[in-house]
Amino acid sequence: MTDRTRIVIGTRKSRLALAQSEMVAAAIRAAAPRLDVTLHPIVTQGDIKLDKPLPQIGGKGLFTWELEQALLAGQIDLAVHSAKDLPTDNPSGLDILCVPARAPVADVLVTRAGLTIFDLPLGARIGTSSQRRQMQLAELRPGLRFADIRGNIDTRVNKALAGQYDAVVLAQAGLLRAGMLSPQGSITLDSAKVQAGGTILPVTQILPAPGQAALAIQGRADDAWLRSVLAPVNDPVTAACLQAERAMLQALHLDCHMPFAALCESVPQGYAMRTWLADPRSGRSLRIQAAASTTDQLVAELLQRIEQAGGRELLEGCRQSPD
């Protein structure tokens, strides 16, 4: 696009995606008030195909392909993605131009009565399609049952309220950005004012997905002007941590079939990262952590420790497991 007074941001149509994209648009307007920043909603295959778990129908790319094609065609200038939904390889010609400051990274257990994971009865049915969440919750609280669930965050909360699940698990960042989670932990659904209870699952118990709570603003790789416009919106620490988490996914050749968690954080000496990986067949899991002065050193150290702990053999067994 040649009009340098206007920026068009591509976004999915869900409540959360629109809220996240409007946050980015507001930040750009604050940094560059002369620019006209507008949203362009786009429906993705991930929004349409809701009857099966993501790994069975194509994985993370189902939420990004249409947005990336619109970028490549020049129909939009930027696309706002939940970083955890973005495949590790950018299509040729595209790049992550900006990563704003990260929101709280924890998961939230949503129930009608605001129960904790330890309050749930044996056999309670938990709605989550994420093997990362399922296996870590099972380690924390044996005796739960898990069932796949798809749909936007409103739909998932409604299913818990309707009794289709005893609880559902959602990202704290999404609930906050959509304006659904209060500081007291109540979750409100639009004008109906129907409330559920949300209980934070600390990262010491349930480690988040790589990229969780971070936004990745994708654009054309050669658009130096947009990079400069976005510079005040970019958070260098979040960007470095996201790059390290994505580097782990890439180095271990992981995809959405495989349960893996990672959280990189800034520490006084540089960066620290905690990881969790597991084999759904055997139930075996590993928790590996490390710290280093740079993210490159951190990733190298973690990969070495995972190797020494037998992590690659564990992942290979996971890859060979039948669907």
Q: What is the CATH number of the domain that holds 47?
A: 3.40.190.10
303 and 271 within one domain: yes
Q: Which domain holds residue 268?
A: 247-319
Flag whether pLDDT at 287 surpasses 60.
yes
pLDDT on residue 278: 93
Q: How far apart are CA 64 and CA 42, in angstroms?
A: 10
Provide mean pLDDT across the span 269-284. 93
| Domain membership flag for residue 137 | yes
Tens of pLDDT, residues 129-160: 999 999 999 999 999 999 999 888 888 988 98
Q: Confirm whether 241 is domain-assigned.
A: no
User: Among 36-50, 65-79, 228-242, where is mean pLDDT lowest?
Assistant: 36-50
Active site residues: 85
CATH number at residue 305: 3.30.160.40
197 and 251, same domain (yes or no): no
Q: Within this chain, do residues 116 and 179 fall inside the same structural domain, yes or no?
A: yes
Mean of pLDDT over the chain: 89
Residue 239 within any structural domain of the chain: no
Considering its fold, how many domains does the chain have in total?
3
Answer with the residue of higher pLDDT: 192 or 119: 119
pLDDT band at 244 (very low <50, low <70, confident <90, very high): very high
pLDDT value at 60 more than 60: no
The answer, yes or no, to whether residue 220 has pLDDT greater than 90, is yes
Same structural domain for residues 95 and 222? yes
Query: Residue 323 pLDDT more than 50?
Result: no
User: Are residues 218 and 88 located together in one domain of the fold?
Assistant: yes
**CA nearest neighbour of 241 among 274, 218, 219, 203:** 274
Q: Both 194 and 47 in a single domain?
A: no
Instruction: Report the residue count for the chain.
Output: 323
Q: Are 128 and 111 part of one and the same domain?
A: yes
According to DSSP, the β-strands at 186-189 and 194-201 are antiparallel
Tell me the whole-structure pTM to 2 decimals.
0.90
Is residue 92 domain-shared with residue 112, that is, in the same domain?
no
Q: Which tokens sit at 154?
A: 């409103």
Looking at the structure, tell me whether residues 89 and 162 fall in a common domain: no
Residue 130 lies in a domain: yes
Instruction: Let me know: does 294 contact 313? Beta carbons within 8 Å.
Output: no
- Does the pLDDT of residue 51 top 70, yes or no? no
Q: What is the pLDDT of residue 194?
A: 60
Are residues 151 and 67 part of one domain? no
The answer to whether residue 52 sits within a structural domain is: yes
Higher pLDDT, 280 or 3: 280
Q: Is the pLDDT of residue 28 over 50?
A: yes
Note whether residue 77 is domain-resident: yes
